[in-house]
Every structure is written in C-alpha cells, then in structure tokens.
Amino acid sequence: MKQRLLVMNGQKLVQDEKAPGKWETVNVEKAGALKPAIYNIYQSQQADKSAAHSGVIVHANKENVYQQIGRNFVQHNRSDFDKVPEIGSAKTITYSDSGKAVVDAQAQTQSRGVRR
C-alpha cells in the first residue's frame, strides 16, 4: 500500500492510495517542526545498517520510522529504537554491532550566509 504525508497549515495528514491517483486521508496529527510539503514515503528504501543516515525524521508508525535524506527517504524498523526520535528533528542514525539504532544530533553543515 502506498502512503504519503501531506504537511500544511501546521497539520500532518497521513494518506493511503486506495486506487491509482485516489488518496484517502487516514490520520491527522500536529506537524510540529516538520516543514510544509508532500512527503512520498512509499518511495523509501530499507536502511543500510552498515552506513550512517543523516536527515530529518518525517514520520513514525507502528512498524517503521521514516527519515528524509536529501530528496530520498529511508525507513528504519521501529523495533531497533529504544526511543523514537522527535518528528521534524534532524538526526544521524547509525547501528551498533547488536543491530540497535543509535541516534545522535545531526552535525552542523556549513551554509552560506550574510555577515557584516
């Protein structure tokens, strides 16, 4: 089943595709710190446990935690987490030797800005 998130006006709508092009809203929540956009989480790939994944946590359900990395999405098994990261927060997720997810604050990246 395809699932996407629609974030607008401070609300996060979880939608399922019932027929091609026909989306039905199944859940409405507060968006929190998540930026307004359409997040096609059905395009997510399973997380590679040998790599580090840095990006924004966009959604968590009973089975998975979804993270946006650039324009792509990665899904982590929820059972790998002791505590699920806050939705809308930028985190780096790595895996320990035992397969448990280790969540750290995302390292700051350099950006261009205006200084005087």
Q: Which of 63, 65, 58, 56 is nearest to 90 (CA)?
A: 56
pLDDT score recorded for residue 107:
57
Give the fold, CATH level 3, of 3-105: OB fold (Dihydrolipoamide Acetyltransferase, E2P) (2.40.50)
What is d(CA 61, CA 75) in angstroms, rounded to the nearest whole number? 11
Counting Cα atoms < 13 Å in the Cβ hemisphere of 62 gives 0
* Longest CA pairwise span in the chain (Å): 55
pTM of this structure: 0.85
Q: Could you state, in order of their start, the residue ranges of all structural domains in the chain? A: 3-105
Interval 10-66: pLDDT, tens: 999 999 999 998 999 999 999 888 999 999 999 999 999 999 999 999 999 999 999
